[in-house]
A = this chain, B = another copy of it.
Amino acid sequence: MRQVKFDRKGLIPAIVQDVDSGEILMVAYMNRQALERTLAAKKTHFYSRSRKKLWMKGESSGHVQRVKEIRLDCDGDSLVVKVSQRGGACHTGYASCFFRKLSLPRGRWLTKAKKVFDPESVYAKNR
């Protein structure tokens, strides 16, 4: 595992991809502990830069990500984690966090997806 290069803050970006559809679901950051827990539990764990704490995807929503494959890039400083996603990956209710698409020439970001769950009810019931 020593090929994994964490940055100065001890983090590495992890791109989470749906193993079946190939859709990119989200990007989050792992520290060494998050990566170790991800491997041990076969469920994604990340380090929240804003909350400064480890978290498991789905701990509030139940929308866990079962890890099917992990890949490392040539530089060793980015991970791709292929998962089977329960529910949706985005806290806003979309399947993917990348639900906005750039529309040119005006440079506007248009929502190009439909919600797959109601975030208010999902997060409320788990409070």
* Residues in chain A within 8 A of chain B (CB atoms): 1, 3, 13, 15, 17, 21-24, 26-27, 39, 69-75, 78, 80, 90-92, 94, 97-102, 104, 107, 109, 112
Contacts and interface: CB of A to CB of B under 8 A. Distances in A.
Given A21-B22, A24-B80, A109-B3, A74 B91 contact: yes
A71 B102 contact: yes
Contact of A90 (B26, B74, B99): B74
Contacts of A72: 98, 100, 102, 109
Nearest to A77: B27
Q: How many copies does the complex hold?
A: 2
Contacts of A98: 71-73, 78, 80
Given A27-B73, A71-B100, A71-B101, 15 more contacts: A1-B107, A15-B15, A15-B27, A24-B80, A39-B107, A69-B102, A70-B101, A70-B102, A71-B98, A71-B102, A72-B98, A74-B92, A74-B97, A74-B99, A78-B98
